[in-house]
Structure 1
């Protein structure tokens, strides 16, 4: 076994704190800040107590972006919506394990539609829920807040689960990204990165950063890389 180099961390903003009246401009500004892709938090008012973006809104913003889109579907019936969000320009579609009766089939369907598949876990949901669907998964998202609203405080108690997911992914041999979402700041990103996450969602903190989004992205990326563990590869 030899020590591998750490994967470059990906910084992905949520547009939840954006000015919805100027989403095209907001997307362009995020691209100029050096983000790796952009996340759309899709909420239905049932799975979570909030309502946000439909596919037509995302499709209207897509021509303004030079980076990929991911849709995080916090909805009770994701299977009925998958095709519409792929058609809207989302190259990655994330569903919640808690909302999917047949998770393996849902993830396979996302791939059949031509997108990359992701599965999200709420803070209370154990890592083992995804153990037998990793072959159909391109990304696992460990929520570090309870989904539904931006601006919540990071839950450090999720970090052992992140570490467990990291081991499961590495043992699987599949090239799966491990994403965290919720309360990610220049400080909290360090614990998530040390636990093994390599993709980081930031919303409220990035938008409020006093030196602007470009500086915020640079700080997040540097802190994540500095904190990342070196993993071994065969």
Structure 2
């Protein structure tokens, strides 16, 4: 079987916010492919992270794909602002969208790639009528809202289910996995069908973050 090299998306949520520019430049100079930006509103998830001003500042110096993950209610109210702030990919949660097809069309109409995230309890079958329109499916491997959580083992089967749905539908969507990804489990995550690994604490708490990014990328 041909070795698969994943895309690596370090999560800025785990960075040192006193030296955020330095950490973005570290990612710029690494083998990372995307920069993952988690936006939390304290309503959809029990935490508040950062918003538009931080993202607008970060994207000015980021040389990577700016991968914005909205863990917020009513994302349609802010999609245009995130496009203007420099988001290249905008992912919304299926659980937060009453009119998901409309959300996806809005995101694409603003010139961004569109993703849908699934919480651990959400069935993959809910993607059946939207999968063909997606650029990305984000499988949450922890409950959203906080970094540093342990990977939920059921996620491997869920990734396989998403992969089967993508193949069956002819969708071109990539599978991104977010939460508790480490050097120890990354190989199994990729083997299950993931294309993109989000890594926060694993990267930023490493002695050498650039080397950790390289290791994650070539561990499959």
**Shared fold, TM over 0.5:** yes
Find the residue that maps to 2:12 and give its secondary structure: coil
1:219 corresponds in structure 2 to 215
Find the residue that maps to 2:14 and give its secondary structure: coil
* Matches of 2:125 and 2:52, distance apart in 1: 31
Of residues 100, 105, 109, the one that matches 1:112 is 109
Compute the TM-score of the two structures, normalised by the length of structure 2: 0.96
Find the residue that maps to 1:190 and give its secondary structure: helix
2:58 corresponds in structure 1 to 61
2:178 corresponds in structure 1 to 181
CA RMSD of aligned residues (A): 1.2
The CA deviation at 1:191 is 2.2
Alignment of 1:69-218 (within 5 A): 69-210=66-207, 212-218=208-214
* Matches of 2:120 and 2:11, distance apart in 1: 19
Determine if contact 2:132/2:172 at 8 Å carries over to the other structure: no
The CA deviation at 1:105 is 1.0
The CA deviation at 1:6 is 5.5
What are structure 2's unaligned runs of at least 5 residues? none
Compute the TM-score of the two structures, normalised by the length of structure 1: 0.91
Determine if contact 2:132/2:170 at 8 Å carries over to the other structure: no
* Matches of 1:103 and 1:16, distance apart in 2: 26
* Matches of 2:218 and 2:26, distance apart in 1: 20
* Matches of 1:61 and 1:193, distance apart in 2: 28
The CA deviation at 1:40 is 0.6
Find the residue that maps to 1:38 and give its secondary structure: strand
Determine if contact 1:156/1:191 at 8 Å carries over to the other structure: no
What are structure 1's unaligned runs of at least 5 residues? 226-234
The CA deviation at 1:80 is 0.5
Segment drifting more, 89-98 vs 128-137 = 128-137
Of residues 23, 26, 29, the one that matches 2:26 is 29
* Matches of 1:138 and 1:116, distance apart in 2: 6
Encode CA deviations 1:139-172: one digit per residue, 9 max, x unaligned.
0010000000000000111211110000111222
The CA deviation at 1:22 is 2.3
Find the residue that maps to 2:80 and give its secondary structure: helix
1:230 corresponds in structure 2 to none
* Matches of 1:184 and 1:44, distance apart in 2: 23
Determine if contact 1:37/1:70 at 8 Å carries over to the other structure: yes
